[in-house]
Structure 1
Amino acid sequence: MGLAGGRGFQARRIMAAPGWSERVRELLRRMNSFHGDGSPKALCLPFTVSGKHVGHVPQSVAQRLQQYPAVFSVSQGDVELSKHLASFEERTAAVHGVLKELRDQQAFPCLKKWREELYNVMPAFCDPPLFGMERAATPLLGVKRYGAHLNGYTWQNGQMLMWLGRRALNKPSYPGLLDNLAAGGISSGLGVRETLVKECQEEACIPASLAAQAKPVGTVTYTYVGTQGGIYPECQFVFDLELPEDFLPQVGDGEVQEFYLWPLHKVKEAIGSSDFKPNSAMVALDFLIRHGYIQPDEEPHYIEMVEGLHRAL
């Protein structure tokens, strides 16, 4: 009986401390929670502009938007931006006015992170933007958000090492967590590479001439439901940059507190921990897969991991 009890205790300990693969699978499930069981997806209303589907509106948000019939037409079937708003400028101004009023009413927690930064809203990234909206408010309408992330790496004695940053403790989101070497959202009026070069300079003091050598290597895409509600469909444009062995990133605008140069086995372990900003952990995981550090013969959930990094928005 004592032996059986001991085995039961050991089994409980194993369940309480899942292995790396299971932790990464859980990360990918969380970051794709909009597609999972129990998701509010079926209850969200499509958000349309000029007949084009651009987002998903939670029921609680739709109820609030009914107060603004001059800007939003809310029915049982969808939420539509008023047809009377015909231009990018008119739509942007009208939506901004509503969002500022909701912010002043403290209607939704995400509006406490107001940035005075506009994101373009369009059905697909290649489409002309239909309007711009405050970055902090985008989860209320479930519109797609885009960013650029940099994997910075170097070689020492034949070993590949990766540069990571640790976010400043005063960051409004994910303070103190590990992050890619440089990353940032793509604001209205900026291109993908332009955003990347800007973030490299601001966050890690990487000269523009060096940052411009970064190679685009694809995207990481996912959609999750925020802990306080809201829908987050996101696409990160991913770049790899091989840095000179003697290059040392420097803290720039204060969004990062320090940088680390780690061997890939240490990066891998961090990906499976709570110490890494979730979407940046996905970008680092994508790097390890693309560079062959994670092998399909050795990782039984290889296909699931690849698919979890590239869900359709």
Structure 2
Amino acid sequence: MAAPGWSDRVRELLRRMNSFHGADSFKDLCLPFMVGGQQVGYVPQAVAEHLHQYPAVFSVSQGDDTHAYVTLNKQLASYEQRTAAVEGVFKELRAQQAFPCLKEWRDELYNVMPCFFDTPLFSMERAATPLLGVKRYGAHLNGYTWKNGQRYMWLARRAMDKPTYPGLLDNLTAGGIATGLSVRETLVKECQEEACIPTSLAAQAKAVGTISYTYEGAHGEIYPECQFIFDLELPEEFVPQVGDGEVQEFYLWPLDKVKEVIASSDFKPNCAMVALDFLIRHSYIQPDEEPHYVELVEGLHRTL
């Protein structure tokens, strides 16, 4: 049997990154996570069973399957009360080694809200977010330059000691949006820390859109994510430098090589999606030449 072609491999990548929407998903078995009357996530059954142990923080309704849900105790009325109470629960579950994802604890808080610009209802540890299926946001940078009339893209190789996806290819810089930071502040911070890109240069990055997807983790976690995408044209003479150690090396590759590696297992999956979005937006992939063009575009923008 012939090996799958480029289109088939990329389509499979997009299906995996949107597995929560797939026919084999456990989405129908999850309980909506409600805070202040608004849904902010999905709770897997296995997680809900643990949350039953903490009635002072979490309330798991006893309705039928179509009306059951998880919410926070109504006594937790403020942002500060909710944040502290939720953190206490997940620190205890971490100590119990209840869920593998909690081994990646980073002491980094993410805002929880129905939509990005809504007032945050509370904040929670980044590593615990997939247990409540709350949406995470990040900022990713496509850094590119021109050589002899041809466009080249800078890619990063993740350090081998990264807790997630060690050693895989990544966008030039990327990072999650932590509590207290704006989208652009996150981008500039990551540019400085990961690739030593000066603030004056990083400030020239252009916001060009988002990609969205939701996938299921190997242990039943739920990862709804939205990445804010920026493009930055870099001077030909600029060379990124390893900064905080999260990257081990940088590569400058022509777009045909970038296109090929998108479809390989060597690229961090969501970062491959960011690079794919770049190729589509810059007309490197054309609708009259790529038979699955519509499916590729749609696969980059699947929201809950």
TM-score of the pair, normalised by structure 1 = 0.95
- Which residue is equivalent to 2:204? 213
- Which residue is equivalent to 1:51? 37
Establish whether residue 225 from structure 1 lines up as the match of residue 216 from structure 2: yes
**Aligned partners of 2:248 and 2:23: how far apart in 1?**
38
The letter of the residue matching 1:286 is: D
- Which residue is equivalent to 1:184? 175
- After TM superposition, the structure 1 = structure 2 runs for residues 148-167 of structure 1, keeping only pairs within 5 Å, are 148-167=139-158
Give 1:229 deviation, angstroms. 1.6
Find the residue that maps to 2:144 and give its secondary structure. Answer: strand
- Which residue is equivalent to 2:300? 309
**Aligned partners of 1:214 and 1:228: how far apart in 2?**
37
Give 1:209 deviation, angstroms. 0.6
The letter of the residue matching 1:34 is: F
- Which residue is equivalent to 1:137? 128
**Aligned partners of 2:156 and 2:102: how far apart in 1?**
27
- After TM superposition, the structure 1 = structure 2 runs for residues 66-215 of structure 1, keeping only pairs within 5 Å, are 66-76=52-62, 77-215=68-206
**Residue deviations 1:71-93, cap 9 Å, x none?**
00002410011111011100000
In structure 2, the gaps of 5 or more residues are 63-67
Find the residue that maps to 1:120 and give its secondary structure. Answer: strand
Q: Which has the higher helix share?
A: 1
- Which residue is equivalent to 1:21? 7
**Aligned partners of 1:174 and 1:194: how far apart in 2?**
24
| % identical aligned pairs | 79
The letter of the residue matching 1:307 is: E
**Residue deviations 1:64-120, cap 9 Å, x none?**
000000100002410011111011100000000000000000000000000000000
**Aligned partners of 2:37 and 2:74: how far apart in 1?**
9
In structure 1, the gaps of 5 or more residues are 1-11
Find the residue that maps to 1:200 and give its secondary structure. Answer: helix
The letter of the residue matching 2:173 is: A
RMSD: 0.5
**Aligned partners of 1:171 and 1:229: how far apart in 2?**
22
- Which residue is equivalent to 2:65? none
- Which residue is equivalent to 1:242? 233
Give 1:190 deviation, angstroms. 0.3
The letter of the residue matching 2:296 is: M
Runs of 4+ aligned residues of structure 1 deviating over 3 Å after TM superposition are none
TM-score of the pair, normalised by structure 2 = 0.98
Find the residue that maps to 1:124 and give its secondary structure. Answer: coil
Query: What is the aligned length?
Result: 299
**Residue deviations 1:112-140, cap 9 Å, x none?**
00000000000000100000000000000
**Aligned partners of 1:227 and 1:80: how far apart in 2?**
25
The letter of the residue matching 1:306 is: V
Find the residue that maps to 2:106 and give its secondary structure. Answer: coil
Establish whether residue 33 from structure 1 lines up as the match of residue 24 from structure 2: no
1:268 to 234, 242, 259: 259
